Structures are given as structure tokens and as C-alpha cells.
Amino acid sequence: MKKLAGVLAGAWLGLQLGVGYLVAPLLFQNLERTQAGELAGVLFTVTAYIGLAVWLLVYFTGRSEEKRAYARPHTGKWVLLLLALLAANQFLVTPVIEAHKTGTANWLLTLLGGSFGRWHGASTIIYMVCSVLGLGLVFRLVKLEWR
């Protein structure tokens, strides 16, 4: 199960990097802005849900290894941080961006305010941090080391 979790995490990382840093820029270069944004949004949503599923699998696999005393607990905290960032971006920030695009209300937008650019920037930073964190975790999983 540990190897499967590592392979799936590596596949997610490839998807994350491919969508965010290759596909999305190409969409905006070659399509009309609104159409590119809609398609990129769908791709980011799919990537986020796959990431949540994969990293939950990685977390529970690691916890299982930890209970057998083959591992140390530190990696689990990084995985939980990655899961929290993925969830925050998907379930908190993305709805605010959508509310800006459609002109509808959103509780977080009402509470904190901010422009489309600020929320999009926050989402981009979270995405980038998830990519770097995922890269580090994949390297750790490939080493088959849980600490």
C-alpha cells in the first residue's frame, strides 16, 4: 500500500504541476479569456479533488506504518498541512473567486472583502505552496521514509 500511495502522490504531483504551470498558461495564450478561465477552473477543481483523495490515502497509509513502529510522525503533519491547504483553496478561496466572477454573494467575501485579483493571488500562492510541499513529500515517499 505504501508503494501505491507513493505512485499516486507522484501522479498527483505531475497533474498539479502540469495543470498549473503548463496547461493553464497555454489555455490563456490560445483561448478567449473567459473560456480559458472556465476550462482552467474545471481542471483546477479536478486536480484539487484528486489531491484530497490521494493525500488522504497517503496520510492513512503513513499512520498505519507509524503504528507498526516503522515510521516517525513528522511526515503526517506535513501531509495534514497539504490537505488543509488544498481544502482551503478549494472550499474557501475558489468560491470567493467564483462569486467575484458571477457577481453573487459569498460569506467569506462579505466578511473579508477584497478584489478578484487579491483572491486570485491568494489562490495562486496556496497552489504554489501545495506544489512545493507536494514535491517534498513525494521525495520523502519515494525514499520510503515516514518521519
Beta-carbon neighbour count of residue 45 at 10 Å? 12
> Where do the H-state alpha helices sit in 2-106?
2-18, 24-30, 33-67, 74-88, 94-102
CA distance to 6, 8, 124, per residue, from 56 (Å): 12, 11, 22
Query: DSSP E strands: which ranges in 3-144?
Result: none
Confidence tier at 147 by pLDDT (50, 70, 90): low
3-state secondary structure of 105: coil
pLDDT in tens, 62-72: 888 766 554 55
The whole-angstrom separation of Cα 50 and Cα 61 is: 16
**pLDDT tens, 79-131?**
999 999 999 999 999 999 999 999 999 999 999 999 999 999 999 999 999 99
Could you tell me the end-to-end alpha-carbon distance of the chain, in angstroms, rounded to an integer? 17
Q: Where are the domains of the chain?
A: 2-142
